[in-house]
Amino acid sequence: MADIQINPQSHGRKKLSTRIDLTPMVDLGFLLITFFIFTTTLTQTRTLDIVMPVEGPPIEVADHTAMTVYLGSDHKIYYLCGKEAMEGNLDKLQVAEFGWTHGIREVLMKHKVSVRMAFQNGYPGSHADDEAFVLIKASSSCSYSDVVNMLDELEITQMRNYALLDLDDKEEQIIASKKG
């Protein structure tokens, strides 16, 4: 606060001098600095880490483990499983959406179970340690959030083997024609 001091040596006239205590202002400054430091560390952007493989030889994928997922416009997901996925038979595309029931999560879980059951059922070329492999192909009309949602679904269903690939022109045209 401001203190008023009277100078005792002044004759007849009273000189007033003011002294301003800046301690509360310094305290307020430190509080504001502390507030801004905490809020900036709490609002850091969150990123999704994707470990991409280095260039190397192509990975061999058994046809019963393969699944190809095409991300289209309007949050539509088209997929192929098994031999159709390996051959790229786009005439047999099936449709799914992001959702709790009858969505891509259920499709992924069924595919995971079918890969496990292939060895038990004696499917030729299957092994006991086979795991599902998902190829994700995003069209130019899909949104970035669909790609992130698809990666989230793979994480939820604990699918560890997947790859992000580009669509070729034929696939892009077919996915674009499936609008609506």
Q: How confident is the model at residue 30 (pLDDT cuts 50, 70, 90)?
A: very high
Asked if 80 and 68 count as a contact pair (C-beta separation under 8 A), the reply is: yes
State the pLDDT at residue 12.
58
Axis crossing angle, helix 144-156 with helix 104-120, rounded to the nearest 10? 40
Point out the least confidently predicted range of 59-63, 112-116, 133-137.
59-63
DSSP, residue by residue, 54-76 = PS-SPPP--TTTEEEEEE-STTE
Q: What is the pLDDT of residues 116-140, one digit of tens each?
A: 888 888 788 777 888 889 999 988 8
What are the counts of helices (DSSP H) followed by strands (DSSP E) for the chain? 5, 7
Q: What is the pTM of this model?
A: 0.67
